[in-house]
Structure formats: C-alpha cells, structure tokens
Amino acid sequence: MPFSSQNLLLLLCCALPWSVLGQSTTVKDVAESTSSTENSTLVCPVPVHPTITPERALNSKQDYRIYSDKADAIKNEIANFTGEVKLFGKDRTITADSLMVNRVTSEISADGNIHFQNKGINIFASQLSASKASKSTQLLDSSYQLSNNPGHGSASEIFVSADGVISLRQSSFTTCYGEVPDWQMLASEINISVEENHGEAYNARFELFGMPILYVPYFSFPVTDERKSGVLYPTISSSGKSGLEIEVPYYWNIAENMDATITPRLMSKRGLQLNTEFRYLSGEQSGELNIEYLNEDKELVSNNDPRYLVRFEHTGTFSENYRAYVDYTTISDDNYLIDLDSSQYNTNDTYLYQIGELAYFGEDWQASIKAQDFEVLGDHQSSYKTVPHIELTKFIDIPFANGQFDIYSELTQFKTDDISQPETKRYHVEAGAIFPISTPAWFLTSEFRLLQTNYEQDRIDPMSSLEEDVSRTLPKIRLHGGINFDRDMSNWKPGYTQTLEPQLQYLYIPNKDQSNIGLYDTTSLQDDFDGLFRDRRFSGLDRIAEANQYSWGITTRILDESNSERFRLSLGRIVYIDDINDPQSANESALADESVLASEVAFRLSRNWQFSSDIQYNTKNNNTNRSQSTLDYQFENNQSIQLNHRYSEDVSGTTLEQASILGNIAINENWQLVARVTEDLRERRNLESYLGLQYESCCWAVRVAYHRHISSNLDDQTASIEKRDEFDSGFMLEFVFKGLNGNMSSISTQDMFNDSIFGYKRPYYLNN
C-alpha cells in the first residue's frame, strides 16, 4: 500500500497532547541483508531495510508516537525533538536527527539522516517538510529504494501527495547497482504510484554504461509485475526482402479479462504495417483475434492492393458438457507469409486452418458438428471442405468380460471449388463390441465390428470409374495381445532390469472393390512401429483396405534402479496372409506379402547423452523408406546440443534428406549462444543458418541474431513479374531493461531456439 501524506499530517498535527518518550534503539540506514531469487545469478540483490517498529504497539486512541533522546515544547504550539528521533504512525515511520512540529501552521520539518519508510518505498533525504494545507510532503537531496523491487534512484526533490503518488524531480531510475549503473533512466520528472501500478517519466533519457542511447519525451511503465497499458520494448531487425524493420508494441490492458497488443511495424522497403492481437477470457471461454494489415506494399510492382492476414481462435466449454472450437484464417494473397512473415504461421506453410466445431460429451454418448476447410496457398488443386461433418457415438457397457458395445455414425458433405473434381455426401455407420483384458503380465483385446458406408456422388466425369450411388458393407475382426517378461540384471549392473515385450495382432477385413469411390479425406498412413498395430492402412473412410494379416512386434527395455528407461529397442512388421497391393510401391498393382520392417531405438548413454532413431526399411527392395535419428547432449539449465538426420523416400514425389545441428549453450553466467544449421544433403545446399547471442545481467539484457534461410515462391513463375530471392537473410537486435515492468526474471532463449523453418512442406488436403 502506498503511504498517504494527508493521513500522516493528520496524525502529526491534530492529535494532542504529544507523547514524548526517551532513549530508543538506533536504527541503521544501511540494509542489513539482501534477498535474491533462489539458485539464480541473474537477479539483482534487493536491499532489505528492516521495518522500524515502536517498542510498544500503538493503541486504538493513538495515531502516532514519537521517540527521541531530547524534546522541548513552546506554549504547546511548537515541539522540537532531537537525537535519534523516530516518529511512528500507522504503516509508516520517519527517523531523523531532529524533527519539529508546528501545530499552528500544521507543518512539520525534519533534518539530518532522514529515513522515510512505508510498505511501498524507503526514502532517504537530508531535509523533510510536510504541510497539511498543501497535503504533500517534500524531501530534498533524496534517494529512494522500492520495497521488494530492485528499482531505485535519486532525486533533487521528492514530493509525496495525499493520494500516495510519489513525484521525483531531476531524478533517476534503475534496477542496477554500482557507482555507474549498467543502465539508468534520467528524467526531469518521474511519478510513481505503487497502488495504481503506474510509473511515468517526462523527458526521459536512457543511458547504457553512461552513454545516452535513447531519448523519449514521455514514457510510462508498470512498477509491479501486474498488467498495465503502455509501450513495450521495441525490436530492430532487418531482412533482404523487407529492409530495416522497427517494431514498437503497445500493450492495452482493456479489462481484467481482456487485453490487446498493437504493434506498428515499419519496413524500409515495404511500408508501415499494423499488427493487432486481441485476447479475451470469460469463464471457460477464451479466444484471440489477430489482424495484420499493410495498406500498400512498395515492393510489389504488379499489385497495390492491401495485404492482410486475419486469424480468429476460440476455445470454450458450456455447461460442462459442450465444447466449442474455432480456428479460422484468411489471407490476402498466397505469398503473404513468404514476403511479410507472421507470428501466426511459418514462412513455408502452404495452407491455412479454417475449422469450426461444436461438441457434446455425455456419460455414455457424444456428438459433434464441424465445418472444415483449408485455404491452400500457391498453384495447387483446391482442397475439399466439409460442410458439415456430423458425428454421433453411443456407448453401452456389456455385463461380461469387461466389454463395451458402441455405435458410431457420421454424416459428411464434401465440397470443392474445383468444378473438375467430384463432390459427395457420405453416410457411415459402424457398430461393434470390444473386450479388453489387461493384467501386469499380459493383455488381450478382442474387437468385432460391422461397417456400413453409403455415398451420393455428384459432378462425376463420364470417363471416370466413379458411380453416383455406392453402398459398402464390411466386417472387421481384430485380436491384439502381448506378454511382458522381465529379468534381473544384477550380475551385469546392480538394480537394473531387462524386459521383453512381444505382441501379436490379427486383423481381418474382406476384399472389396472401391474404385467406384472418390478420394475425399483419405491417404496412406505411415508404417512406423506403432502403426503396425493399427486397424487400418488409410486415414478417412474412402478406402478401407482388405486385411487378412498378422502383425508381430517385440520390444526390449533396460530399466535402471529408479525404474527409468535407459535403453529401448522395438522391431516389427506386418505379414499378409493373402498377398495385397503394396501401399509403399509406386506401382499400385504390385503385390506384397509383408510390410516394411519398422524399428525404433532409444538409448540414454548417460545423464547428458541420449540417442534415438526410427527406421522403416523395405526388405523387398533393400532400401530405407523413412528414417529419423537424433543425438542429444543435455547440459544443465535446459541447455542442449542436438544433431539430427531426416530421410524420406517420397515427400510429394521428392526424396528428402536433411541434416541439422542446433544448440543452446551458456558460455558463462551472462552470455548465451543459440545456433542452428540445416543442410539439404540431396541438393547439396544450406537450407537455414541461424546464430544468436544474448547477454543478460541481473538488470538488463541484449539480444542480437543473424538468420539466413531458403524462401519459397508460390506465384506462377511463368506469369509473375515479381522477383523473389531464393534466400532471405537479416539480423535482429533487442534490448530489455529488466524491472521497468516489475518483472526481474531471466530472459529465456527458448524462442530463439524454436524459431526455425521446415525446409519442405506440401499443401495439406483432406485426402493426402
């Protein structure tokens, strides 16, 4: 609570007779202890000035009490106190060498080693005067220290008003300590209100190591870590495509459950862009609206239309059973993300989400209705959208074998703007029973289902094999079981245990010709180790693959004395009892008697080293379909170095092979390095390079980074006159003066570590 000078004057001037007591303990001005955040070397120690308390507590009739070595009074109008004077009021104290109270003029004055203290601030001064008429207190040649906050400074004069606002004239503010603070703000006037969490400075000049770096005519800031409207830290960066960029965010604390951040972004090559983020929270409902708008892009030759991105997200529950979810994005042009970047999507994203869903969850049934679309960027086939997609599921417990019967039904209408593509209404119902048995030593799951799907297809090409009305009925049988073995490894390593976990699955679905059905939301699924024990080879319902097959898999683990996994190896594949079309073959008529061999391995070499890899190997063709391997070294305090390799035989018809090394390393307690390099091993070129350095002391931080990465171009190359470089590069510079927002916590480099591109990304469709 900030102090009230009006209450203090009332205490001093209106309560008679004076209570004069002698011989009190001396209170030291110097702090006796410091406090700091535990286990943190980057938090400045905050001086703790012990609370000065009277020998006896004030009773209900006393507004204040004065202690001193000596006192005298003149006609009961003026009283002088000298020698270690202490005045105790309610929640505030004054200590001084001498103090005078004038009842006639309702004024007080104090001299020598003055220490004014309340819950919000400690002020030290050579002179103090207070007047009931002006309802203010003035302190000269002052210094101050905020309580529980490293914020401190000096002033030629400090005025304390009746409403608790502290005004500092010709003053300074900093959170750094030392004869020359690393940074400080000098101002003709600084006003601070702890109660309203508000600070403002006039004619503010920021200095770094004694050198002026910035002048601001007016500047407002919070003095606690509570939310407050005001200008946030600016960011300076550059890129080849946009030139010099300056962002100055303004935070607007609209209400307790509502706020906005408005960020003008000046780009020397393109112009002024306005980015706005609005957030709200109401009970179980929360959402965010982001608008990015550039009225005219000076870099575009062929088009002067405004460029924009709008994204709305909402998540909420109603009456404990209903859930709503919305994620809708629209964009002005396909190359917006490539040219202007956005915090909402990656530069190389090729589709935007457009989803709205309302769901109900009951005790034994659930339902949902969803509309879904993807705005595909670039010269690609239009995506299918579902308007609507309705699901209804009912669960019924079976009174034996822990069984459950369920009925799932779905109604979906698929639409597309591409008139050359068919559209359809799809009705699907499946009913079945599942009987799961599980013990620590073994498990067995039995599942029996009947699937019925009907299609009403429109806009069919006369030369196509598709049919307008299709009815498909298929049964499905699935049996999945496994056993867990373990053995003691004390002879090799005391306390260690090895497990052996074989599992086997049988799946049966009869063959059904489905060439008369279009592909609307269906694509092949990966044959990784977990995928071996799925009950389908395709996502969606347009293809339900025949299956008369069994899947086998075996996993072994080594567990240490704390039961933590130190090593894991999994190996398995699918064996087709009846030869089927090979989903991994480019030739759809190619038959296969078994799937790829899928394996996973994870090895924690020590507390710091860890290796993991998964491989899908085609033993028929003796080649690897997909693989990913990662080697990590973990330092303390979330620092790490990672080396990874990715390979895929077919990504939109292209073989992908990439290698990356990335690291987040603390050079010492103040300097951190973030670096990342990604190489395309097929094309023998660099996809991305990033180098960032961050310096952080207990009271300020600076971050500088260089980034170079490959760019995309979604224009028709033969028709477009816009020129875009294959690579984009630039730098970023950011200062943080810790404590100006009341927050002194360390600045994380995690956003630098995660700020990366994905080298290749294909358009997303419901049927890919």
How confident is the model over 694-722, as pLDDT tens digits? 998 888 888 888 888 877 766 654 445 56
Give residue 259's pLDDT: 94
Q: Minimal CA–CA distance to 458: which of 445, 471, 467, 446?
A: 467
The stretch 492-516 carries a mean pLDDT of 93
Q: What are the residues facing 427 on neighbouring strands?
A: 411, 454
Element (H, E) at 14: helix 5-14
d(CA 294, CA 310): 12
pLDDT of res. 715 = 62
735, two tokens: 């200062």
171-224 pLDDT, tens digit per residue, is 988 888 877 888 888 999 988 876 777 788 899 898 888 888 888 898 777 766
Q: Which homologous superfamily is 5-224 in? A: Lipopolysaccharide (LPS) transport protein A like domain (2.60.450.10)
In the prediction, which pLDDT does 600 show? 94
In this prediction, residues 416-427 reach a mean pLDDT of 92
The span from the CA of 40 to the CA of 43, in Å, is: 6
Query: For position 439, what pLDDT does the model report?
Result: 93
* DSSP characters over 282-337: ETTEEEEEEEEEES--TT-SS--S-EEEEEEEEEEEETTTEEEEEEEEEES-TTHH
CB 494 within 8 A of CB 553: no
Nearest Cα neighbor of 221 from 235, 231, 234, 233 is 231
The per-residue pLDDT for range 658-682, each reduced to its tens digit, is 999 988 888 888 898 999 999 989 8
Question: What's the average model confidence in pLDDT over 266-295?
Answer: 94
Q: For residue range 614-653, what is the model confidence (pLDDT) as tens digits?
A: 999 888 888 888 999 999 888 876 688 889 999 988 776 7
CB contact set of 352 (below 8 Å; sequence gap of 6+): 329, 330, 331, 345, 374, 375, 377
Q: Residue 679 is inside which H or E element, if any? A: strand 671-680
Q: Which of 225-229, 575-579, 589-593 has the lowest mean pLDDT?
A: 589-593
Interval 317-330: pLDDT, tens: 988 889 999 999 99
C-alpha to C-alpha distance for 92 and 52, rounded to whole angstroms: 9
Greatest extent of the chain over all pairs of C-alpha atoms, in Å: 117
What per-residue confidence (pLDDT) applies to 359? Answer: 95
Q: Using only C-alpha atoms, what is the Rg of the chain?
A: 36
Q: Domain coordinates of the chain in residue numbers? A: 5-224, 227-421+635-768, 453-610
pLDDT at 559: 93
The count of other CB atoms within 10 Å of the CB of residue 180 is: 9
Interval 12-28: pLDDT, tens: 332 222 323 222 222 22
